């Protein structure tokens, strides 16, 4: 018996050592990678043995660009970080500057900000979840749920004029009250979206084919997720309930009651379900914000950052000078350094700002969640098949703009 076991072991060892791996370039342009990043895969047939990622194909030098621009002009750059939910990035940047200025924002403006941020969170999760569906072959969900993104875009357009890269709001709040048509659209959205989301859920959530493909596909344990500094839905799917809105509340999130969905095994199905539930919770938050909306001004009293009303600009010398200085970006910010984080669509989006008292930042660093958690991707796909690796990547919601900055 022992001798045959030894012979067996020798035979197996030889077979193992003779295996040849093939190299597959999952190149920068690939239909399934949503965004451009390259993975050179070492494969044994269909199973992935090792992966070497290369990123930087859309590096646009945001941090250096930000050192050149006055504070109000940096907002368009922050738009293009996670461009699926750009209002969250904008608001995060405004809150960072307001922290540096130690400004107090009126409650009404904060509630409006919450409504915008939750709408954009819904938009981001719609893309991610419908694209997970597309990667498993279910095109229908994508085609029909995108209609609701158009409705969200219309709401953004009413407020700021742009659909995708919004540059919404101002440092200190919003420039004016929202029109009645905006509120009509928001109320119509809240009334009709639950039905569409239920349809989308019925398509995929308990669908046997979808569940078979996504359960146990690319799992990650909670300890590994924490050591790779995961945040956001990916970490919550692994079991840790870390949400910046709950832990370090900003912009009056402490006034709202909502649950934070948490998964168990960190696989693709858990990530999908966490995002689905977050969409439902976002709808709840928007409803609460509309119900409890306080009265008050829409912007903080920051004459150095906020354009004065036009009647005063045409009649009053001081207002004219302020207007000129603000538009030309000549306002000086106090010296200091501050770190502020918000819960973006993908996790903790942090802004580390060092100001030396001038009109542009001395150093601005974006703590980008995608960049940090994508490092774990080669570990997560070891030993699984190629199509499952594609699904894992799309369920992690890697946005190229946030990856490379």
Partner 1 sequence: MAKSPEGIEGPGFFATKLEDVIGLARKNSLWPLPFATSCCGIEFMATMASHYDLGRFGSERLSFSPRQADMLMVMGTIAKKMGPTLRQVYEQMAEPRWVLSVGACASSGGIFDTYSVLQGIDKIIPVDVYVPGCPPRPEQILEGVMKIQQLAEKESFRRRESPEYKKLLNSYGIE
Partner 2 sequence: MRLKVSDLKSQNLKSIMELLNQVNEKLNANFAGQVVSAEMLYDFPVFTIKTEAMHDVLKFLKEDAELNFHFLTDLTGMQTADEKQLGVIYHLHNMPKNLRIRLKTFMDINKPELPTATDLWPAANWMERETYDFFGVRFKGHPNLKRILNVDEMDIFPMRKEYPLEDQERTDKDNSMFGR
Task: Give the interface with partner 1 as residue ranges (CB under 8 A).
Answer: 27-31, 34-36, 56-61, 64-65, 76-77, 79-80, 83-84, 127, 142-144, 146-147, 149-150, 153, 163-165, 400-401, 404
Residue 74 has, within 13 A of its CA and on its CB side, a CA count of: 29
Name which of 67 and 158 has its Cβ closer to partner 2: 67
The binder of 142, among partner 1, partner 2, none, by C-beta within 5 to 8 A per type, is partner 1
Is residue 371 a contact residue for partner 2 (CB under 8 A)?
Answer: yes
For residues 55 and 64, what is the distance between their CA atoms, to the nearest angstrom?
18
Among 124, 267, 402, 404, contact with partner 2 (rule: CB under 8 A): 404
The binder of 336, among partner 2, partner 1, none, by C-beta within 5 to 8 A per type, is partner 2
Among 194, 362, 382, 383, contact with partner 2 (rule: CB under 8 A): 362
Is residue 328 a contact residue for partner 2 (CB under 8 A)?
Answer: no
Q: Considering only 198-206, 260-268, 274-282, 348-356, which stretch makes contact with partner 2 by CB under 8 A?
A: 348-356
Lookup: tokens for 115: 């409504």
Secondary structure string (H, E, C) spanning 82-99: CHHHHHHHHHHHHHHHHH
Is residue 337 a contact residue for partner 2 (CB under 8 A)?
Answer: yes
The answer to whether residues 350 and 340 touch, using CB atoms and an 8 Å cutoff, is yes
For residues 121 and 88, what is the distance between their CA atoms, to the nearest angstrom?
8
Q: 34-63: which residues touch partner 2 (CB under 8 A)?
A: 55-56, 59, 61, 63
* Distance of closest approach, residue 338 Cβ to partner 2, in angstroms: 5
The binder of 146, among partner 1, partner 2, none, by C-beta within 5 to 8 A per type, is partner 1
The binder of 229, among partner 1, partner 2, none, by C-beta within 5 to 8 A per type, is partner 2
Lookup: tokens for 306: 């906020």
**Closest to 220 measured CA to CA, from 274, 258, 259:** 274
DSSP SS3 for 53: strand
For residues 153 and 141, what is the distance between their CA atoms, to the nearest angstrom?
19
For 81-110, letters b (16+ CB in 10 Å) and e give bbbbbbbbbbbbbbbbbbbbbebebbbbbb
Residues in a beta bridge with 204: none
Residues in a beta bridge with 349: 342
Residue corresponding to tokens 């498993």: 136
Name which of 83 and 178 has its Cβ closer to partner 1: 83
- Applying CB under 8 A, the residues found at the interface with partner 2 are 55-56, 59, 61, 63-65, 67-68, 99-104, 106, 226-229, 240, 242, 247-248, 297, 300-301, 336-339, 341, 348, 350, 352, 354, 356, 362-363, 365, 367, 371-372, 374-376, 404-405
């Amino acid at each position: 018996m022992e001798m045959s076991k030894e012979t067996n072991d020798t035979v197996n060892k030889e077979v193992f050592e003779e295996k040849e791996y093939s190299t597959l370039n999952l190149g920068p342009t690939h239909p399934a990678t949503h965004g451009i990043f390259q993975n050179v895969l070492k494969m044994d047939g269909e199973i992935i043995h090792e992966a070497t990622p290369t990123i930087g194909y859309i590096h646009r030098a945001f941090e250096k660009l930000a050192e050149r621009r006055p504070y109000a002009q940096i907002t368009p750059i922050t738009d293009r970080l996670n461009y699926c939910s750009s209002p969250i990035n904008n608001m995060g940047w405004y809150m960072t500057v307001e922290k540096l200025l130690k400004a107090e924002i009126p409650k009404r403006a904060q509630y409006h900000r919450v409504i915008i941020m939750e709408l954009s969170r819904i938009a981001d999760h719609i893309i991610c979840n419908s694209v997970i569906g597309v990667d498993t072959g279910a095109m229908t969900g994508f085609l029909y749920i995108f209609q609701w993104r158009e409705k969200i875009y219309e709401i953004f357009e009413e407020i700021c004029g742009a659909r995708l890269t919004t540059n919404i709001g101002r440092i200190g709040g919003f420039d004016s009250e929202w029109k009645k048509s905006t509120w009509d659209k928001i109320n119509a959205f809240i009334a009709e979206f639950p039905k569409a989301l239920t349809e989308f859920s019925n398509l995929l959530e308990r669908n046997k084919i979808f569940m078979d493909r996504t359960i146990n596909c690319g799992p990650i344990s909670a300890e590994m997720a924490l050591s790779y500094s995961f945040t956001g839905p990916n970490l919550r799917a692994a079991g840790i309930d870390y949400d910046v809105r709950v832990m370090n509340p900003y912009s009056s999130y402490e006034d709202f009651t909502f649950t934070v969905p948490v998964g168990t095994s960190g696989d693709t199905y858990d990530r999908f379900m966490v995002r689905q539930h977050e969409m439902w919770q976002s709808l709840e938050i928007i409803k609460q914000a509309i119900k409890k909306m306080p009265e008050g001004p829409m912007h903080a009293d920051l004459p150095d950052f906020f354009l004065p009303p036009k009647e005063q600009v045409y009649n009053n010398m001081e207002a004219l000078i302020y207007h000129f200085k603000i538009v030309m970006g000549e306002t000086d910010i106090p010296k200091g350094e501050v770190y502020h984080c918000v819960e973006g669509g993908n996790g903790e989006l942090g802004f580390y700002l060092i100001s030396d008292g001038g009109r542009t930042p001395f150093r601005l660093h974006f703590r980008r969640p995608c960049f940090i958690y994508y490092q774990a991707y080669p570990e997560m796909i070891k030993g699984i098949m190629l199509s499952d690796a594609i699904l894992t990547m799309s369920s992690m919601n890697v946005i190229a703009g946030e990856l490379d900055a």
